[in-house]
Amino acid sequence: MSDSNSSSASMQADGGQPPQQQATNVNAATAIIGALPTGQPVTGQQAIDAAAVHDRELADLRQQNLQLQQSQQQMQQQLQQLLLNQQQPAAANIAVAQQHPAAAPAASPQLKRRAPELMVYRGSRDRTPIRDWLRDTEEVFEMTGTPLNLLSTIHEAGHYLKDDAKTWYNQQKASIHTWDDFRNVLIERYRDPHEVMKARNKLASVKQTGSVSNTLLHSTVLAWS
């Protein structure tokens, strides 16, 4: 009987509200009181206005919280859809490859063309002779099975030209239609100015060696005869 009476007395004292609701009411009342002017008497209308402002702020906060939750839900749905879209083509390709091995998608040629990497050529600043750079570039394309006369191949090689070599290539680009055009344009501009003289000297050296050999051979034959 004493417990029942004390519970009834407690409910009558707080209006029959649970402890959590009482705490909420206390917090709301504290916020309203804090919004009232201090240092002067508070009228009933001021208390009503302060309570209305507080209610509006609570409503705005609830609306913002609801919008935030909806936004998070939308982001989660979009992420799930994105993952699903990425998984579907991969699963379809696996299924096709299992059922029809010959119909499996071939490896992209772009992946093959990226290894090994082409060397950069910087024109007049580069110590590498232009013919050597062209030969190395052609070897890379040959190893990757890339046809030289494709415009995409020529443009890719042009991508590795830097500084004044890039400027020269862009100026001559309209006249370049084949790999030979590309080679000739670069050799014309960046070949060794003493290249012709070196070739002549080398040829003269070969002729002289041949002449001396023939002379020695003729002398040997005469000595044995």
Write the pLDDT tens digit of every residue in 187-206: 999 988 776 666 677 777 76
Which helix (H) or strand (E) element contains residue 23?
Answer: helix 19-35
pTM of the full predicted structure?
A: 0.41
Checking if the pLDDT of 220 tops 50, the result is: no
Q: What percent of the chain has pLDDT over 70?
A: 59
Residue 116: predicted pLDDT:
78
Range list of β-strands (E), 45-179: none
Please name the residue ranges forming H helices in 100-178: 109-112, 130-143, 151-159, 163-172
Q: Mind listing the pLDDT tens digit for each residue in 23-76?
A: 555 566 666 666 656 666 667 777 787 788 878 888 888 888 888 888 888 888
Q: What is the pLDDT of residue 80?
A: 85
> Where do the domains of the chain lie?
2-87, 111-191
What confidence score (pLDDT) does residue 10 get? 47
| Amino acid letter, residue 132 | D
CB atoms within 10 A of CB 62: 10
- Asked whether residue 139 carries a pLDDT value surpassing 80, the answer given is yes
State the residue for tokens 């034959």: 221
Q: Give residue 223's pLDDT band: very low, low, confident or very high (50, 70, 90).
A: very low
Identify the CA nearest to 151 among candidates 128, 169, 172, 177: 177
Asked if the model's pLDDT at residue 141 lies above 50, the reply is yes
Q: What is the pLDDT of residues 1-31, one digit of tens each?
A: 445 454 444 444 445 555 555 555 556 666 6
Comparing 3 with 169, the larger pLDDT belongs to: 169
Check if the beta carbon of residue 178 is closer than 8 Å to that of residue 149. Answer: yes
Q: What pLDDT does residue 225 have?
A: 42
Q: What is the mean pLDDT of the chain?
A: 75
Confidence (pLDDT) at 180: 96
Q: What is residue 208's predicted lDDT score, i.e. its pLDDT?
A: 57
pLDDT for position 224: 44
Q: Give me 95's structure tokens.
A: 């299924």
**Average pLDDT for 106-129:** 74
Average the pLDDT over each of 27-36, 72-81, 85-94 and give the range with the smallest value: 27-36
